Copies of this chain bind each other. A is one copy, B any other.
């Protein structure tokens, strides 16, 4: 994961604001939105929101007011001040002002002082932003994020976030933290909220590792496949960030906590595909020594095949909250043996879905589908809003 997406604010178009137009729905709601982190996902989200504004206003009675965008060093703020207003002939234009980046000022600007509903969207990958969620939620500001740091980070912070939601009534949603736009967190939530009992979650949460396992058929050394995935842009710039399994482990922690187990990242039994002696090398040195992965991977594949099975990289959570991320041997007829190359797949085994689990499958990465997962969370929050200014 990048530590911080490059600020693209300079390249952003001004955000058109929805004029409040009378629609056919009985309920009109206004939601003030601020975006933190205009990187690839954030920019895709802005484009989606901009395209959807007229339709949401007309069909859903929802006025989305995009009030600002904050990058790490600068932020853009929509401004009501008539002195600053940019007059372009129509009443809809408003002023846009630039300021040095400041999360406190940004949140205060989006929240306003008129009792409006406010939502902050964190598309950064910045722990300092996650550190603010609890305060924002306690102040009644909804928070949506594809950022895994809060959901899989320190338990104390997680509990503070949950407590802030329970006490303040603001909502924290994070569907896109697990498999981007696929309906995973919501599906788990619905199973539990309707009284089902979770017995297990098993899945392939990394498109990169799924692709490598799918392609690893003995005809090519594993290192060749890693280089190919790297060249195709399927891996992170440093492939060890995929091969270590830690990103997968974070997703599993998020699902475990959703299911009520206060799991820590450290408690996940993670089998890294990176040998310890290669973990501390520079990225370039690691890529040169990649072939050292070939022999152990080839022998694991041979062992799997000897038993008629396939080798897959699987994250598993059992009914006791035990979590693991590792290469496992599965029967050739297993659902996980038949996924499309880079697909993610998540399988929920519950009391109701016991003999046959509930399975969701599809692409689990990419700016557009990740942004759509964030957008879905925004819409869920909007549905729950009462009519206020």
Contact = CB atoms under 8 A, between A and B. Distances in A.
Interface of A: 24-27, 48, 51-52, 55, 60, 166-169, 181-183, 186-187, 190-191, 193-196, 333, 335, 338, 340-343, 352-353, 355-363, 368-369, 372, 375-376, 379-380, 383-384, 386-387
A383 B384 contact: yes
Nearest to A369: B352
A340 B359 CA distance: 11
A363 B356 contact: yes
A117 B33 CA distance: 29
Contacts of A357: 362
A121 to B, nearest CB: 13
B48 A194 contact: yes
Nearest to A168: B26
Given A166-B24, A359-B361, A195 B383 contact: no
A169 B383 CA distance: 12
B181 A352 contact: yes
A372 B387 contact: no
A160 to B, nearest CB: 15
A379 B181 contact: no
B379 A352 contact: no
A229 to B, nearest CB: 16
A388 B252 CA distance: 38
A48 to B, nearest CB: 5
Contacts of A51: 195
B352 A25 contact: no
A162 to B, nearest CB: 11
